[in-house]
Structures are given as structure tokens and as C-alpha cells.
Amino acid sequence: MQEMTSSLVRAFELLISLDPVLYGIIFLSLQVSGLAVIAAAALGVPAGAGLALVRFPGREAVVSLLNTFMGLPPVVVGLVVYLILSRSGPMGFLGFLYSPTAMIAAQTVLAFPIVAALTHAGIASVDPIVKDAIRSLGATTSQAARLIVSEARYAILAAVIAGYGRAAAEVGAVLMVGGNVEGYTRVMTTAIALETSRGDFELALALGIVLLFLSLVVNLALRAVQKRGALLR
């Protein structure tokens, strides 16, 4: 108990003293997860929207697949991305393994199904009467698509935030493809795992506090967005 208390005190000291190692890790984490969620949104929002708006054979199967992939085990994603990026893999020539780029790729793969599936759900749940109103106003197919997507904008924003939550909290996949190299690929989650295994709890706790705080911020943002969306239903 005493050790935990003193570690906690040290953790706050690190946070307050703007410890460069600590903040380097935080900054890298934000960068990796931020870029991953931008990529996941750039791919997932159009994919989810297309799935909700365009009828094609096999659509239901794709939706089921996406929903399944929302629970994708991170270590499996790590393994697959590792195999693809490893020297003998199909994209090994890029030399991305054990780099932040590989970590961004892994987090993108994890966040994509969440963003796409929740975007699809949000657009699919736009009230049919609103869709009728859009058609009755003489909208072309593309105008109608734009208006329907705009109706679901809060749901889409919530989907992206949920995707960020998934990316930022991830540890297994980024550890496998990033390698946890100090000052290069060490992010909050992997640093916590490493420091804990070393019995060095100060940095781990400080990072844990930051991670918890960020998770709180993400959840507050999500709640705010959902509340706003619900109010306007």
C-alpha cells in the first residue's frame, strides 16, 4: 500500500514537472491514435454511408461481417498486420514494421469496422419520413444521399469518437507491430505494460492517469454528441 502511495505521488510529480519522457510518450500516442482515427474515418464513414444508402446483393452479409469485426481481437490484427509488413510479407519492402506507421495501420484496422458499422447504423436509422420528405422535395440521388448523411451527422461523429476510443486503448496489436522502441514507438499503453512488468510503477501510473483522463474526455464528448443527437430527434 505504501509503495502504491509513493508511486502515485511520484506519478503526479512526473506529470507536474512536465517530464520529457512522459510527455514524449503521450504526444506520440496522441499522434498515432489521431492519425489512425483520421484514416479510419476517411475510409469508414464513406464505407458505412455507402452500405446504408446503396442497395446491392450481399449487403446484409457485409453488414454482419462489419459488426463481427467490431469485436476483432487486437492480437489477431497485430498478427495479420505483422505478417503483411514483415520482411517476407507482401508489403515488407516498405520497411514499416516496428515504426509508428505500422502502429497507425494496426489501429486503423481496429477502428475502421467500428466507424463503418456505427456510421451505417446511424444513417440507416434516419426516419423514413425524413427520407420521403427529401425525395418529395425533388432531390436527385446524390442530393438525397448528402441530405440523409447530414441528418445522421451526430451519429457519425459519435462513430468516429468511438473509433478513437478503440484505437487509443489498444495495446496488443501496437506492441506486436511497433515493437515498443523507446522514444520511437513507445506509446502510453505499451509503456504501461512494460513499466509494470519491470516493477517500475511511477511512470506506469502517471501514464495510466493520463490515459484514464483521455478516456474520460472521449466519453464526455461522446455523451455530449449523443445527447445533442437525441434532443434533435
Note the residues at the interface with another protein (CB under 8 A). 127, 129-130, 132-140, 143, 147, 150-151, 153-154, 231-233
The residue (of 24 and 229) whose beta carbon lies closer to another protein is 229
Alpha-carbon Rg for the chain, nearest whole angstrom, is 21
Helix boundaries (H) for the chain: 2-16, 20-53, 59-69, 74-85, 100-124, 128-136, 141-151, 153-169, 172-178, 188-198, 201-231
Least spacing, CB of residue 136 vs another protein, in Å:
4
Vertex 74 angle, CA 100 and 196, to 5°: 75
Nearest to another protein of 39, 134 (CB atom): 134
Nearer of residues 10 and 135 to another protein, judged by Cβ: 135
Residues 117 and 161 sit within 8 Å (Cβ to Cβ):
no
In the chain, the amino acid numbered 28 is L
Q: What residue has cell string 495501420?
A: 105
Closest separation between CB of residue 49 and another protein, Å? 16
Burial of 66 (0-12, 13-18, 19+ CB in 10 A): buried
Shortest reach from residue 140's CB to another protein, in Å:
5
Which residue number, 151 or 195, has a Cβ lying nearer to another protein?
Answer: 151
Nearer to another protein, 130 or 217 (CB): 130
> Least distance in Å: CB of 126 to another protein?
9
Least distance in Å: CB of 153 to another protein?
8
Q: Which is nearer to another protein, 64 or 143 (CB)?
A: 143
| Alpha-carbon span 66 to 64, nearest angstrom | 5
Count CA atoms within 13 Å of residue 174 on its CB side.
32
CB of 66 to another protein, least distance (A): 25
**CA–CA distance, 173 with 112 (Å, rounded to integer):** 14
